[in-house]
Amino acid sequence: MVVYVEDGRVVIETREQLAQRIRREIAESWTGEGSVVDELIADRRAEAAREDHRPAHPLASPVMVYELDP
């Protein structure tokens, strides 16, 4: 059983029902054009590019490495 809140209501369904619903929703939205893998790779690259341009978290500090002479 899977339990979650959706639109303010508690939904209980079996794993099989959840899997069937997800398959149905994907089938309804898939246009059959292009490659799902290529789309996923493009999405990941776009996210990585956005992360590269984000300012560092204000609480993050650079790591300092000190070498001690024996």
pLDDT-derived band at 64 (thresholds 50, 70, 90) equals low
What span, in angstroms and rounded, lies between the C-alpha atoms of 22 and 28? Answer: 10
Strand, coil or helix: what is 30?
A: coil
Structure tokens at 35: 């490659």
For 28-44, the pLDDT digits (tens) are: 887 777 788 888 899 99
Q: What is the pTM of this model?
A: 0.43
